[in-house]
C-alpha cells in the first residue's frame, strides 16, 4: 500500500482535478507490484455518467501535477475510470449512493459470530447478497432473506453493488 503521505497528496491532486471538471472522486487504489495508480471517478447518470473524455481530462490534469513531484521511485501507470456497475463500496457515502439496491457483502467473520440467533442456514455465511436498506453512523441495515441485520462497516471486509438488469 502507498505511504499515507503519498496517498494524501495523490488524493489532494485528484480531488482538485475532479472538482474543476465537474466529476466526483470515488476512490484511489495503488497496486505496488503492477506500479499502477488507479483513480475512480463518478458522475450522476442525470449528468450523463462518466464518459471517456472525462477520464482523459482527469488523467491529463492529474499527470500534469503529479509527475513533477516524483512521488513514485520508478515509472508508474495511471488509470482513470468509472468505478463500474459492480462498484466496490468502501466508504459510508458509497453505500448511501446505492441504498435500496442489491449488494454483496463479505464479513470478517461468519454472520453467526455477529448474530448468534441467525437462521441455521445463514449462521456460517461470510459472503452473501442482500438488499441495502439504510446507512447511518458507520452502520448498514440490510435485508437478508426477509430479516433485517444491523452491521457496522468495520465488520465488512469487502462490499460491492450487484448488477441487475
Give the pLDDT band of residue 75 (cuts 50, 70, 90).
confident
Domain residues for the domain of 98 are: 92-161
Q: What's the predicted TM-score (pTM) here?
A: 0.87
Asked if pLDDT for residue 73 goes beyond 90, the answer is no
Please report whether residue 86 resides in a domain: no
Average pLDDT, the chain: 93
Asked if pLDDT for residue 41 goes beyond 60, the answer is yes
Q: pLDDT: is 148 or 76 the higher one? A: 148
Question: Rounded mean pLDDT of 48-76?
Answer: 92
Please report whether residue 110 resides in a domain: yes
Phi, psi of 75 (to 5 degrees): -60, 155
Q: What is the CATH number of the domain that holds 139?
A: 2.30.30.100
Strands 139-144 and 24-31: unpaired
Please report whether residue 136 resides in a domain: yes
Asked if pLDDT for residue 1 goes beyond 70, the answer is no
Question: Given this model, what pLDDT does residue 45 score?
Answer: 82
End of a domain among 52, 81, 110? 81
Q: 77 with 96, same domain? A: no
pLDDT digits (tens, 9 = 90+) for 102-132: 999 999 999 999 999 999 999 999 999 999 9
With cell 497496486, the residue in question is: 31
Measuring CA to CA, how many Å separate 1 from each of 9, 107, 127?
14, 21, 25
Instruction: Work out how many domains the chain is built from and give that number.
Output: 2
Question: Given this model, what pLDDT does residue 85 score?
Answer: 94
Return d(Cα 122, Cα 114) in angstroms, integer: 11
Question: Given this model, what pLDDT does residue 97 score?
Answer: 94
Amino acid at each position: 500500500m502507498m505511504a499515507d503521505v503519498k496517498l494524501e497528496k495523490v488524493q489532494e491532486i485528484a480531488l482538485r482535478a475532479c472538482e474543476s471538471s465537474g466529476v466526483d472522486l470515488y476512490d484511489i487504489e495503488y497496486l505496488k507490484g503492477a506500479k499502477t495508480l488507479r483513480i475512480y471517478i463518478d458522475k450522476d447518470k442525470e449528468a450523463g455518467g462518466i464518459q471517456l473524455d472525462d477520464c482523459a481530462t482527469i488523467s491529463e490534469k492529474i499527470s500534469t501535477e503529479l509527475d513533477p513531484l516524483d512521488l513514485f521511485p520508478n515509472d508508474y501507470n495511471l488509470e482513470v475510470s468509472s468505478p463500474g456497475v459492480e462498484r466496490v463500496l468502501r466508504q459510508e457515502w458509497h453505500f448511501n449512493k446505492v441504498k435500496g439496491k442489491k449488494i454483496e457483502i463479505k464479513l470478517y467473520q461468519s454472520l453467526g459470530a455477529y448474530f448468534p440467533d441467525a437462521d441455521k442456514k445463514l449462521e456460517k455465511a461470510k459472503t452473501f447478497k442482500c438488499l441495502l436498506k439504510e446507512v447511518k453512523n458507520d452502520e448498514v441495515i440490510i435485508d437478508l432473506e426477509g430479516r433485517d441485520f444491523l452491521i457496522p462497516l468495520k465488520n465488512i471486509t469487502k462490499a460491492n453493488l450487484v448488477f441487475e438488469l
